Amino acid sequence: MRKYRRIPEIIEAIEFKAGTKEWPEGIQYNHSEKSYMVWNALHKSWIKLKDGDYVRMDNPRDRYPIDRKTFMKTYEFYSD
């Protein structure tokens, strides 16, 4: 997991790559829909992931996917 900065906040996120064997808690494969999903506890719902999406991971209750293009416009890599 790498850190990214959205001025003025710093978040943790992962880039979603379909077919990866292990994922952090809250991401899983949905066999009935044949897609990967991320659990958003804040809204008590599963959200579909697309290959290349970034998943905001810094808050376990508010995990959600961000389209790659939007993520790259909004965040920059941050190294402390």
- Measuring CA to CA, which residue among 45, 55, 49 is closest to residue 14? 55
Give 33-51 pLDDT, tens digit per residue: 889 999 998 889 999 999 9
Looking at residue 49, what is its pLDDT?
93
Looking at residue 11, what is its pLDDT?
85
Give 17-37 pLDDT, tens digit per residue: 887 777 888 888 888 888 999
- Omega within 30 of 0 (cis) for the link into 60: no
Regarding pTM above 0.75, the answer is yes
